[in-house]
Amino acid sequence: MNEIWTVVHAERHALIDDLRQVPAERFATPSLCPGWDVHDVLAHLADDAKTTKLGFLARLAAARFDFDRYNAAAVARERAADPQATLDAFRAAASRTSSAPAPPATRLVEAFVHGEDIRRPLGLSRQYPAEHVAAALAHQLKTGVGMGGGKERARGLRLVATDVRFGSGGGAEVRGSALALLLAVSGRPVRPGELTGPGAAALLGDSGA
pLDDT tens, residue by residue, 45-81: 999 999 999 999 999 999 999 988 999 999 999 999 9
DSSP assignment letter at 78? H
Confidence of residue 209 (pLDDT cuts 50, 70, 90): very low
Task: Work out the angle at residue 151's Cα, subtended by the Cα atoms of residues 153 and 97, and round it to the nearest 5 degrees.
Answer: 125
8 Å CB contact between 168 and 123: no
Summarize pLDDT for 111-165 with one digit per residue, the tens: 999 999 999 999 999 999 999 999 999 999 999 998 899 999 999 999 999 999 9
Who's near 158: CB < 8 A, 6+ residues apart? Answer: 167, 168, 169, 170, 171, 172, 173, 174, 199
Cα–Cα distance for residue pair 77/26, rounded to 1 Å: 21
**pTM of this prediction?**
0.93
Task: Work out the angle at residue 138's Cα, subtended by the Cα atoms of residues 132 and 140, and round it to the nearest 5 degrees.
Answer: 110
Cα–Cα distance for residue pair 129/126, rounded to 1 Å: 10
How does strand 157-161 pair with strand 172-176?
parallel
The phi-psi region of residue 61 (left if phi > 0; otherwise alpha if psi is between -120 and 50; otherwise beta) is: alpha
| pLDDT for the residue 205 | 83
Summarize pLDDT for 176-193 with one digit per residue, the tens: 999 999 999 999 999 999
Helix (H) or strand (E) holding 79: none
